[in-house]
Structure 1
Amino acid sequence: MIHDYVRAMTRSTLNARVYLTFTFLMSLYVGISNVIFNLYILELGYNEQSIGLLISAALLATGLFAFPAARCCDRMGSRMCLVTSGLLTAVSMYLLYTVTSMELLLALSVLNGVFATIPTVIGVPFLMENSSPEDRLHIFSVNFGIFVFATVIGTSLGGYLPQLSAVFFGMPELSVEAYRYTLMVSLAVAALSVVPLIFIKEHKRTCPVRSDTKAFLRKLVESRTIRQLVIISCLIGTGAGLIVPFFNVYFNKILQAGPDQIGLIFSLAQASMVLGAAVVPYIATRFGKVKTISLTYLLSLPFLLMLAFTTNLYLAGGAYILRMLFMNMSSPVSNSFSMEIVRQDERASVSSLTSTANCFALAGGSFIAGMLMTWGVQTMPYLAACGFYTIAAVLYYRFFRGRETAPGTGGQTPAEAEPSA
């Protein structure tokens, strides 16, 4: 197993290794921010509905900017787009962490959502173009593994940095100032992530955009495969939007967990996902990609229900860890598979389309969940998320069970073998 990963990394391109470094640094930033930001907003005096509004605004901006982002990539190149978006993200996040009025927080959340679109749209096609078919699944797994490993470190730091701020600066641990110092540390890491992107070598058009954009988009929408990918993205996005952005709020307000406990639980969950990312290529080879994706989605549901109904922090923490493991371990497989079943010239546009659908669904789910939690309805979002995930798992299997090569055969999928139009 390890030999396969070493061989894939040895044969990987400079661009792939640069992007993996970028993934590590950005994931470190995400890990810290994921633990602290919602708690920071609550400490400012706002409620869950306000959190849902901020999250929804950022996600809607990301979704709306997905296709313009692909066009920017086509005109400016991957390196320039990634570097520019990284710098602008750092500026917008600095302002987001310093202002306190809801109007400014909302406007800056929108800007941050726009700037975050570039790596969201470019990432998967970029790795596809900079990896060989025989190494692709391992490269995607390494990328996912780096993401979760760095997030482990980030969530651990996010949980304990407020304590360090309290010690060094003489402020209350659970205060706006302690949370803000922690967020500024995450911001420094995000700014540092721009440095490796400078070394990207432009040699392929990762985001080709057709001149007849409207006609091409119409063709995409008419594609049965792409419609099915969009449906799955909407279902998963809605389910995730109902619960994922509010896990730290749930642990803090309902289960009375402190930032250090939340950080520990989140880091253990991410650590479990490293193991999942490492073994999932072999599970997919044994059982098939589609079956692996559907089954892992379904296996996460009992733990999500347990998380919704328990009042014991330790039981909830264990349920959260297992839920995150099963729901996310197949991400490398689903990301690569979704690109394999469409033509090469469609990949960037399909990535934009599914990202848009996913962001809109996440935004809607987050806004609804924020209102429900403000009204004191804590379990309904979890039950609804289970419903959306179940439908997504069943439909994924029905849609795509005949669309992959036989397990263990390797080779090209029909989409990879088909010439560009």
Structure 2
Amino acid sequence: MLNHLVREIGLETLLRSSWDVHLLCFQRFARMFAYGQTTIIFTFFFIALGINEEQVGLFMSYTLVGDMVMSLGMVLVADRIGRRKILATGSMLMCISGITFSYTSNFWILLAAAVFGVISPSGNEIGPFKTIEESTLAHLANLETRSELYAWYNLLGGIGLALGTVSSGWIVQILQDNYGWSTIGSFRCIFVLYSLVAAVKFLTSILLSSKVEQHAKHSQSEEGESDDMDSQEEDPLLDSLSNSETEDLMSSVQSDQQPGPLSEPPASTSSKARWKGIVPKLSSQSRKAVLPLLLLFSIDSFASGIASQSWISYYFSERFDTKEGTLGVLFFVTNFVSAASSLVAAPLARRLGLVKTIAFTHLPSSVFLTTLGFPSSELFAMTLLILRSCTQRMDYGPTQAFVSAIVLKDERTSVMGIVNLVNTLAQSVSPLLVGRLARLGLMPMGFLLAGGCKIVYDISLLAVFIGQKFHDN
């Protein structure tokens, strides 16, 4: 029974995976731990600096838009420059950003640090990390085991987020109550810890092997091709050409013998070629699947931005006067439960299929979200939040496996980057709205809107993609 359970939850797949897979999962854990530490205090930090709710929402929107542009550029060149280099560079920027938040109070300097240094304003994934890691996991695993690896990837991320929130809440409360630290001083301590975690993440990035790069799987075939080319070089050149190609070659040689200026390719042509090398070109089959999926993802991401952990923390603090330590415990429970529930997604996906698993597991959490703002009891509201977490992230693994399976192998990194771009763009609108609602005391209406959008997403996804074909590559 124990062996069956280990296989059923995908633990056997994880344990038998390569060292690179383990490092990627650890990076996800460390990064989400850092995000979890800052998400509890993010809104409170700016309120303590004298910035009102609408300005905080504006800051979050600016951060997400700026991060979207930066991440897109990094993701599009990741396979050309190297995935390890991009992950290591992002980790260094995280470290610099945490140090900046721990020393300055200037709004615009903090904004620049949040954009370029990948500070998550909501506790959700931002930056190029998730896109590159998901593409790399798909690169290292086949379609049968991919969903299980994604489940553990998300589980470890959820555990990291849970530990980050609970540690942050209690560190802040203990520093203030037992050691007399100021509110801002205790918050800055968290950003110092953020930098230390980023430094650890940098070390794990440079330990990844060359197998994580896009060209790794082509090395064997390229060797075979080079052998064929070497054998072809022994044949006469003209024998390897067709008749028309031979005539073209001879005419070009004759024209080269005529005096005249040397011809060069137009600058516009070379610039266009370089641009095409960076901008992703999708197959027609991939475009048909990706375009409606992006629309649905944008609806879901807009709703997620309204119900982010930063704003939920603010809501509980304002309505029920909940302390940081209690908020840390609450989000530890919700994040841990949602992370553990992701293990159930892998066996469900094997039985129901990816699309049904995504829709059926995500729908209950959407319903609970619509009712989150109405209870007058703190305990009842916390119960609804915990119930929501039971299936909140159960769809993450199947969704990642679904996206990686509907596009071709060489398109994965770019497509996942585009998905991340659209999600971030849609989510960047949400803080402006929720900041206004918070200032007017109407956050329950925000939760109702967010839950309704997610319900539309669940039903539409099931209706559009129920018969989608997958690529096993």
Between the aligned partners of 2:52 and 2:214, the Cα distance in structure 1 is: 41
Counterpart code for 1:239: A
Give me the whole-angstrom Cα distance separating, in 1, the residues matched to 2:213 and 2:193.
35
Q: Distance in 2 between matches of 1:59 and 1:200?
A: 28
Give 1:268-283 correspondences, 5 Å limit.
268-283=333-348
1:248 offset after TM fit, Å? 1.0
| Aligned partner of residue 309 in structure 1, secondary structure | coil
Change in CA separation of 1:65 and 1:186 when aligned onto 2, cut-off 3 Å:
closer
Paired letter, 1:228 = P
- Deviation (angstroms), 1:338: 1.0
Is the Cα–Cα contact under 8 Å of residues 36 and 183 in structure 1 kept in the other structure? no
Task: Extract unaligned runs of 5+ from structure 2.
Answer: 121-125, 217-272
- Percent identical pairs in the alignment equals 21
Aligned to 1:2: 6
Instruction: Give the AA of the match of 2:211.
Output: H
Q: Is 2:368 the counterpart of 1:300? A: no
Residues 16, 131 of structure 1: 8 Å contact kept: no
Q: Which residue of 1 aligns with 2:316?
A: 251
Matched, 1:316 2:362: no
Distance in 1 between the 2:403 and 2:92 partners? 30
Q: Does the residue aligned with 1:307 lie in a helix, a strand or coil?
A: coil
Give the equivalent residue in structure 2 for 1:68.
Answer: 73
- When the two structures are aligned, how many residues end up with a matched partner? 406
Q: Partner of 2:265 in structure 1?
A: none
Q: Secondary structure at the match of 1:379?
A: helix
* 1:235–1:189 Cα change, 3 Å: same
Alignment of 1:227-238 (within 5 A): 227-238=291-302
Q: Which moved more, 1:219-228 or 1:180-189?
A: 219-228
Aligned to 1:264: 329
In the alignment, the residues of structure 1 paired with residue 332 and residue 215 of structure 2 have an alpha-carbon distance, to the nearest angstrom, of 34
Query: Residue type matched to 2:450 in 1?
Result: A
Amino acid at match of 2:192: M
Query: Counterpart of 2:160?
Result: 150
Deviation at 1:213, TM superposition (A): 4.8
In the alignment, residue 125 of structure 1 is paired with which amino acid? S
Partners of 1:224 and 1:87 in 2: CA distance: 37
**Partner Cα separation in structure 2 for residue 122 and residue 56 of structure 1:** 23
* Aligned residue runs from structure 1 range 13-412, under 5 A: 13-113=18-118, 117-166=127-176, 169-172=179-182, 175-203=183-211, 205-206=213-214, 212-213=276-277, 216-217=280-281, 223-244=287-308, 245-403=310-468
Specify whether residues 59 and 163 from structure 1 end up closer, same or farther in structure 2 by C-alpha distance, changes over 3 A only: same
CA RMSD of aligned residues (A): 2.4
Report the Cα distance in structure 2 between the residues aligned to 1:136 and 1:219, rounded to whole angstroms.
Answer: 22
For structure 1, the 5+ residue unaligned runs are 405-412
Establish whether residue 416 from structure 1 lines up as the match of residue 472 from structure 2: yes
Counterpart amino acid of residue 241 in structure 1: G
Pair 230,210 (structure 1): closer, same or farther in 2 beyond 3 Å: farther
Equivalent-residue separation in structure 1 for 2:285 and 2:147 (angstroms): 27
Query: Once the two structures are superposed, what CA deviation does each residue of 1:23-60 show, in whole Å capped at 9, x if it has no partner?
Result: 12112111111112221112222222122122111211
Distance in 1 (alpha carbons) for counterparts of 2:73 and 2:299: 24
Please give the TM-score of this superposition, normalised by the length of structure 1. 0.90
Q: Secondary structure at the match of 2:443?
A: coil
Amino acid corresponding to residue 61 of structure 2 in structure 1: S
Amino acid at match of 1:416: D
Q: Structure 1: how far apart are the matches of 2:185 and 2:200?
A: 23
Between the aligned partners of 1:295 and 1:281, the Cα distance in structure 2 is 13
Partners in 2 of 1:35 and 1:286 — Cα distance?
37
TM-score (norm 2): 0.80
* CA shift in 2, pair 1:131/1:168, >3 Å: farther
Task: Note closer, same or farther for the CA distance 1:201–1:220 as it changes in structure 2 (3 Å cut).
Answer: farther
Question: Cα offset for 1:370?
Answer: 1.1
